[in-house]
Amino acid sequence: MTMIAYPRHCAILIAGSLTLPFFSVAIDSAPAGDARFFSFFALIGAIHATSLLISFRDRAPFAKSVAFVALAAILSLVTPFLGFAVAPALPYVLPTILRLLPFLKSIGDSTAGDSVRLLFVVTNASAFGASGYWLLVRWLWLRPLRLVDLLRTVALCSTATSLAFMIPAVLTSMSREIAGYLPTVLWWFAFSGSLYWSESSGNHQRPVPIPTLGTT
């Protein structure tokens, strides 16, 4: 038995995805600036962490739950900065990426290559964010997770983020509002999918108590 009830978790994530625009409207009512920008990232981290807590089969301690949501929000807030750690590598990888995937030039930027720079930065931010969040989940809740599970999570989340930026370039008819939330939604489901993959494997199943003689 898994620690997380994934059908419930999936339903909560779908509800969170549908209500995300309403949260954004509330944030947009705040004065423009860095606070508004980073509040959105903190919000999406807090929403996913809360969806996990609600989906646990066993009730989680209150103080530990509050700490988990707060740390997830802080981690999500600083994630954009982590993507810029790879900025020095851009001059070396950009030409190769443009040769292999020339259609990336059309991802909503006026200068050829800017979209690829953005994609490279956000994909790496996604990988760093997935790593930190996975470590937090393992530290507080899912201790049996292994290194191979971390690598799987990072791969799935990075792929989901890349696809979220490529899909609007291919499907030019896609609504800009939908395209704007696509990276968040796909990342959420990629991360949760990786947890399900890990927990559903034999090495991560929670032991089911075996009745002994004299018990009912």
User: Residue 110: its pLDDT value, please?
Assistant: 45
Structure tokens at 96: 């190769």
Residue 64 has a pLDDT of 95
Is pTM, for the whole model, over 0.85?
no
Whole-number pLDDT of residue 172: 60
Residue 122, pLDDT score: 85
CA–CA gap between residue 12 and residue 5 (Å, rounded) = 11
Q: How far is CA 12 from the centre of its chain?
A: 15
Task: Give the pLDDT confidence score for residue 189 in this predicted structure.
Answer: 96
Give the pLDDT of residue 123. Answer: 87
Domain borders along the chain are 6-203
> What pLDDT, on a 0 to 100 scale, did the predictor assign at position 35?
61
Q: Fill in the DSSP letter of residue 55.
A: H
pLDDT score for 207: 44
- Measure Cα distances from 56 to 4, 67, 143 in Å: 5, 16, 14
At 202 the pLDDT is 57
Widest pairwise Cα distance in the chain: 75
- Residue labelled with tokens 């507080």: 140
Q: Quick one: pLDDT at residue 15?
A: 94
**115 close to 106: Cβ distance less than 8 angstroms:** yes
pLDDT tens over the chain, length 216 residues = 889 999 999 999 999 999 888 876 666 665 555 566 678 888 899 999 999 999 999 989 999 999 999 999 999 988 888 777 766 766 666 667 667 766 666 554 445 556 677 777 888 889 999 999 999 999 999 999 999 999 999 999 999 998 888 777 666 666 666 667 888 999 999 999 999 999 998 555 554 443 444 444
